[in-house]
Chains A and B, each alone.
Chain A
Amino acid sequence: MIESTTVQVYASGDKDFSIELEQKPVNKGKVSKTDIINMIAYIKSGQSAKTYVQSDCSVEINDDSVTANLSVYAWPSNFDTPLEHFSVLCEVRERNLINMAREFDLIVNYDETIPLPFLVSSCDFSWQTPCYVNGTVVESQELSLVGGKNIVIPRKVFGVIRVRCIAIGYEYPLQVTVDKDSENRITEIKPSFSVRWGTEENQNSSIDLDLPACMTTLLATCEDDTLSWNKGKAKKKKGEAFTTIYYSKCDGKVREIHSAQA
């Protein structure tokens, strides 16, 4: 699942140029059951779970900062137009040309030409439904790819196409580094990425970047800008092992679990 934004631009030099920016999915969840099991295993083996980073959290923890590695895919309608990139609160590394397999449905609602969301090097498509015209099934229409970008249908019909293709575009690796101290609260950090292909005001496209939720958990602070932890104890029986769970006083996130003899 990729969230995306598309800007269609009709500028004087590149009147049909468009570019779609998509962020490579980040882990939006906080802690999975796998992580909980891992954290319990840490504790049972005598280690603290405080430094545990969840399995699918692409975050590096340093002494005084946390760094998230993100990526943005850019899908231009042609590769001749020069692009310039800009970023807010993140560092952009050298872009890579990528080929990525994609698969999705397209609804044909009496269109003769359907633009694909990206240039493709190869593409397979097939009807998922019969073709209809005004409620009547008609002969299945031949589909053809034109210019690596558009699917052309000879007759206006209704139906659904399944598309499986190799998309060509750029990947921009990005790094967001945040101090662990409380001055830069995570709620105030809104990194973004933009590309520009001309000097006109509308010759640019930008995307706001999601940070991994595990990063926001790591940096969660209280209203008074302090990290603060409560603890709750659970006893099984008097004299037997009890468990202490440390959780954030601010948002209730479980940070550490200890089992110990009373």
Chain B
Amino acid sequence: MITQSATISVSIDQSSTKKLVIVQEDWSTYLGLITKYESVSYISSILYSRSYSSRIRCGIEDNKLACFIFVYPIEQDLKFEMHTSYGEISGGEFVFEEKEEYLNFNLSKTAEFDFPPINILNYEWQGPCLDGVGNVVPVDIKEISGTGVELTEKVYASILVRYTTVCYKYTLVAERRAEAIDSHWSAVVYGVYEGGEDFLEIEMPPGVEVFENDPSATCGASSGKVTFDEREFYPPSEGRKNRNTVIDYCSQNTISDEIVPA
């Protein structure tokens, strides 16, 4: 693999109609579901009269949906305002981020970034570039723009790119629509700037149907209809294992990390 290390300025593609990349916080860190650990703890608390403290995060608490929204302007000096069709959006804290992304070319010259980079830190070709019949061909990067990478030839190739980007972090909070039949928390967040608007329809958290159907459902409390997480298997199908991790006391760097059968 060839690694190119450099700080490359990124030119802005003015032809793109989209000016804002709006992204919602990934719900994967939220469970919205009872894990088996949670249910066993709960049964144990009932049987042995122990106190019970939930670790569940649902994304909806006290009938309020709350999530973070990240807005990446493609042009750094773009002036915009964020709004929501329902609930309240607040914040706008400036965040500097470093991203790592694979750009894949499927017999194509161009591939797009998920987020607009301001500086390319380095990139690595993830193997040789192949033409339509499988021959290795020499290819160069023609241009890196605010939206993607353009090669000199159409090839099958993959590049790992590390870059920096900036975004604005907002918080969306929406109460349950008391009178609604369905879609109690649905909302569309949108950014308005001179010349246009970009929007994002808010994705609901996992397990939201429980809350849609039952206004009294509570997250992780001692009542309510929350369900098992199917992804978690208990007991584990594999035997027990030990994880031995050695960390340097001064630098906190990991020296070794191995998992061995118990």
Q: Binary interface profile of A, 78-103, with partner B (CB < 8 Å = 1, else 0)?
A: 00000000000000000000000111
Q: Which residue of B lies closest to A230 (CB)?
A: B235
A37 to B34, CA, bound (A): 14
- Nearest-neighbour CB distance to chain B for A129, whole angstroms, equals 5
> Is the beta-carbon distance between A107 and B201 smaller than 8 angstroms?
yes
> Is the beta-carbon distance between A33 and B186 smaller than 8 angstroms?
no
Contacts of A247 in B (CB 8 A): 235
Contacts of B102 in A (CB 8 A): none
> Is the beta-carbon distance between A29 and B227 smaller than 8 angstroms?
yes
Known contacts A1-B212, A107-B188; A257/B43 CB under 8 A: yes
Known contacts A103-B181, A105-B183; A33/B39 CB under 8 A: yes
Known contacts A104-B182, A164-B181; A129/B225 CB under 8 A: no
Answer yes or no: A32 CB below 8 A from chain B CBs: yes
Contacts of A29 in B (CB 8 A): 33, 207, 210, 225-228
Contacts of A213 in B (CB 8 A): 227, 230
- Nearest-neighbour CB distance to chain A for B176, whole angstroms, equals 13
Which residues of A in the span 216-246 have a Cβ within 8 Å of any Cβ on B? 234, 236, 243, 245
Contacts of B192 in A (CB 8 A): 132, 135
Known contacts A128-B85, A243-B47; A32/B227 CB under 8 A: yes
- Majority-rule SS of A interface residues: mixed
Determine which of B39, B48, B188 lies in contact with A31 in the assembled complex, contact meaning CB atoms within 8 Å: B39
- Nearest-neighbour CB distance to chain A for B128, whole angstroms, equals 40
Known contacts A129-B190, A252-B234; A135/B195 CB under 8 A: yes
Known contacts A1-B212, A129-B85, A158-B197; A32/B204 CB under 8 A: no
Answer yes or no: B169 CB below 8 A from chain A CBs: no
> Is the beta-carbon distance between B182 and A36 smaller than 8 angstroms?
no
- Nearest-neighbour CB distance to chain B for A140, whole angstroms, equals 14
A229 to B260, CA, bound (A): 28
A25 to B182, CA, bound (A): 13
Answer yes or no: A160 CB below 8 A from chain B CBs: yes
> Is the beta-carbon distance between B227 and A31 smaller than 8 angstroms?
yes
Known contacts A29-B227, A31-B228, A128-B85; A104/B43 CB under 8 A: no
Which residues of B in the span 28-54 have a Cβ within 8 Å of any Cβ on A? 33-34, 36, 39, 42-44, 46-48
Which residues of B in the span 179-232 have a Cβ within 8 Å of any Cβ on A? 180-183, 186-188, 190, 192-197, 199, 201, 204, 207-210, 212, 222-228, 230
Count class of interface residues, chain A: 35 or more
Which residues of A in the span 151-209 have a Cβ within 8 Å of any Cβ on B? 158, 160, 164
A interface list, Cβ under 8 A from B: 1, 25, 27-34, 36-37, 40, 56, 101-105, 107, 109, 128-129, 132, 134-135, 158, 160, 164, 213, 234, 236, 243, 245, 247, 251-252, 254, 257, 259
Pairs A–B under 8 Å by Cβ, sample size 30: A1-B204, A27-B227, A28-B227, A29-B33, A29-B207, A29-B210, A29-B226, A30-B227, A32-B227, A33-B34, A33-B223, A33-B224, A34-B224, A34-B225, A36-B39, A36-B43, A56-B225, A101-B181, A102-B182, A103-B180, A103-B183, A104-B186, A105-B85, A128-B85, A128-B188, A134-B194, A134-B195, A135-B194, A213-B230, A252-B36
